[in-house]
Amino acid sequence: MQELKSPTNRVYLTIDTDHANRWVAVTWQGYLTKESIQAGAAAYTQALAASGYACVLNDTRQVRGPWDHSLEWVINVWAPQAAAAGLQYFALITTPDSFAEESASAFYAQLTAFQAKVFATMEEAQLWLRQHARAAASAATSSPAKS
């Protein structure tokens, strides 16, 4: 597991490559800055590319405040990079009726680079992502090898 910390030494992101489920799980926490979002997104995109998986489980329930200050960057810069790194399915867990949930809904509404869905519970997100992780793994093993 990888932890990213703010300049004040507070953990704002944990990244865990879940080999059993074939996804990268990330948990954001606290108040997020543009810099922390960009560094965190780059770190877990690298983990995704290294794993060869197609799914991210993104838990934002511990985020305080909105992150709409980074929405344009997330949609226009990060999302295409993540898709190029192999991201196909993105499960976003958020707390309903929070500022972070408003940012998540705006993200979901504008996203076209990969399939994303917003969930209120970890269980629902994991169920949806497991179906897609299995399908992505089957597609990867049945497609001819690239030369």
Please indicate, yes or no, if residue 30 is contained in any of the structural domains. Answer: yes
In a domain? residue 59: yes
Note the pLDDT tens digit of each residue in 20-62: 999 999 999 999 999 999 999 999 999 999 999 999 999 999 9
CB-CB contact of 25 with 18 (8 Å): yes
pTM given for the model:
0.83
* CATH number, residue 115: 3.30.750.24
Considering the domain boundaries, does residue 147 fall inside one?
Answer: no
pLDDT attached to residue 12: 95
User: Which residues are CB-contacts of 106 (< 8 A; sequence separation ≥ 6)?
Assistant: 68, 71
Q: Please check whether residue 52 is in contact with residue 17, taking contact to mean a CB–CB distance below 8 angstroms.
A: no
Report yes or no on 58 lying in a domain: yes
Residue 35: count of CB within 10 angstroms of its CB: 11
pLDDT of residue 83: 93
Number of folded domains in the chain? 1
| Strand pairing report for 55-63 and 89-93 | parallel
Angle (CA) 5 10 14, round 5°:
50
Domain annotation covers residue 91: yes
Instruction: State pLDDT tens for residues 83-129.
Output: 999 999 999 998 766 545 555 566 656 666 688 888 989 999 999 99
Q: How many CB atoms lie within 10 A of CB 50?
A: 12
Residue-level pLDDT at 108: 58
Residue 6 lies in a domain: yes
Q: Does residue 50 lie in a domain region?
A: yes
- Determine the pLDDT at residue 107: 62
Neighbours of 13 (CB within 10 A): 22
Residue with tokens 């399908």: 135
Which range of residues forms the domain containing residue 60? 2-142
